[in-house]
Amino acid sequence: MSKRDYYDVLGVDKSAGEREVKKAYRRVAMKYHPDRNPDDPGADDKFKEATEAYDVLMDSTKRAAYDQYGHAGVDPNMGGGSNFSDIFGDVFGDIFGGGGGGRGGRGGPQRGADLRYTLDVSLENAVKGATVEIRVPSLSSCESCDGSGAKKGSSAATCGTCGGAGQVRMQQGVFQVQQTCPTCRGRGKTITDPCGACRGQGRVEKTKTLSVKVPPGVDTGDRIRLSGEGEAGPEGGPSGDLFVQMSVKQHAIFERDGKNLYCEVPITFVEAALGGELEVPTLDGRIKLKIPPETQTGKLFRLRGKGVKPVRGGSVGDLLCRTVVETPVKLNKEQKAMLEQFQKSLGESSHAQSPRQTSWLDGVKNFFDDMKT
């Protein structure tokens, strides 16, 4: 089955910058996250597809290869692509163990596979940072044989077919073809007395518990590299890395956009008309917000420094509060009569006291006048 275009998966143009790609991924990831779609078996595939697209489009090297050669340019099975790297780059390399080593050369121990773990974090923990424990199933080095695959007290022997090279040459007419040794399957060694615990594989399935430090300011799509916490390499080879990818949960009050936070603040009809003061929440606690008279729905109040400090540095974002004037409901007869009396009291000045409605009505009138002409 052919893969979809990565740009189509995230719904962005080929000219999209990192910010647009990240925002698009956050939207798609939140929509198809398996935890939010337990009854949709296809959501998990769409979530993984979006993550794969994000991995490529956020890596300049991979993206260039993809733009030139398509999926073949980033498919390791097709000889393209580049090394898997985290978007934090060297910023957190020292904190989280640095970069992973290269793959073992031919005939030497091979490096284990990298693993990826999606970590759901609350908005509060993403903004302020936290330390969380995760349980990761992986292939770990067998303790009984120290990863060699051979029974304790014995050792693997050099393959008699390839002489330890892991590959053999086959003569086909005038051509010589080099292929993986069929006896040792490229390992260069054979095990005559395999370990009973791992059955000669040198690795066993285990679930390990790891402590992950989430830096303040992370966002959906950011990931942390834990060096050496991936799968153990075959035959005692070095372990791969574990990439912990962040997925920030939806919040009941706040919505995040980069370093800024947004929230809606419902206000009463009276507060909107006469003004007032009310408490609004921030991630640091409550703060008083002054509502001026004649406030309309949609007015934004900016609380500076009450947003998010980006994980890569820079100034702290702001909290933007959007007012929503709430129409009173379940009025009794007396209240309805008072409002009707209020409406009558406006008289001919009602249009002047509702400038947006007046402007809208004028626009409607002009629209129909233009249609007649």
CATH of the domain at 211: 2.60.260.20
Residue 256 and residue 284 in one domain: yes
pLDDT of residue 153: 77
pLDDT at 103 over 70: no
pLDDT of residue 210: 93
Q: Would residue 134 count as lying in a domain?
A: yes
Sequential DSSP letters for 318-346: -EEEEEEEEPP-S--HHHHHHHHHHHHHH
pLDDT at 266 over 90: yes
pLDDT at 106 over 80: no
Q: How confident is the model at residue 264 (pLDDT cuts 50, 70, 90)?
A: very high
Which residue, 49, 58, 232, is CA-closest to 148? 232
Report which DSSP code applies to 238: P
* Predicted model pTM: 0.61
pLDDT of residue 358: 77
pLDDT at 92 over 50: no
Report which DSSP code applies to 19: H
Which residue, 109, 86, 111, 113, is CA-closest to 97? 86
pLDDT of residue 187: 77
How far is Cα 258 from Cα 308, in angstroms, rounded to an integer? 8
pLDDT at 200 over 90: no
- Give the total number of structural domains in the chain: 4
How far is Cα 184 from Cα 191, in angstroms, rounded to an integer? 9
How far is Cα 259 from Cα 318, in angstroms, rounded to an integer? 7
Task: With H, G, I as helix, E, B as strand and everything else as coil, classify residue 158.
Answer: strand
Which residue, 137, 128, 127, 117, is CA-closest to 225? 117
pLDDT of residue 62: 87
**Mean per-residue pLDDT over the chain, rounded:** 83
pLDDT of residue 97: 38
Which residue, 218, 348, 321, 194, is CA-closest to 261? 321
Residue 78 and residue 110 in one domain: no
Q: How confident is the model at residue 182 (pLDDT cuts 50, 70, 90)?
A: confident
How far is Cα 30 from Cα 258, in angstroms, rounded to an integer? 15
Residue that finishes a domain, picked among 48, 82, 116: 82
- 56-60, 82-86, 94-98, 317-321, range with greatest mean pLDDT: 317-321
pLDDT of residue 85: 36
How far is Cα 238 from Cα 13, in angstroms, rounded to an integer? 40
Q: Would residue 168 count as lying in a domain?
A: no
Per cent of the chain over pLDDT 90 is 36
Per cent of the chain over pLDDT 70 is 88
Residue 276 and residue 227 in one domain: no
Residue that finishes a domain, picked among 212, 228, 249: 249
Mean pLDDT across 1-16: 86
pLDDT at 355 over 80: no
Residue that finishes a domain, picked among 59, 82, 105: 82
Residue 195 and residue 315 in one domain: no
- Measured CA to CA in angstroms, residue 294 lies from 270, 274, 276, 300, 323 at distances of 9, 6, 10, 14, 12
Q: Would residue 34 count as lying in a domain?
A: yes
Tell me if 228 sits within 8 A of 97, measured CB to CB.
Answer: yes
The more confident residue out of 368 and 319 is 319
Tell me if 243 sits within 8 A of 86, measured CB to CB.
Answer: yes
Q: Would residue 2 count as lying in a domain?
A: yes
How far is Cα 260 from Cα 160, in angstroms, rounded to an integer? 65
Residue 6 and residue 126 in one domain: no
Mean pLDDT across 242-246: 92
Residue 209 and residue 310 in one domain: no
Domain of residue 304: give its range. 251-329
Tell me if 204 sits within 8 A of 140, measured CB to CB.
Answer: yes
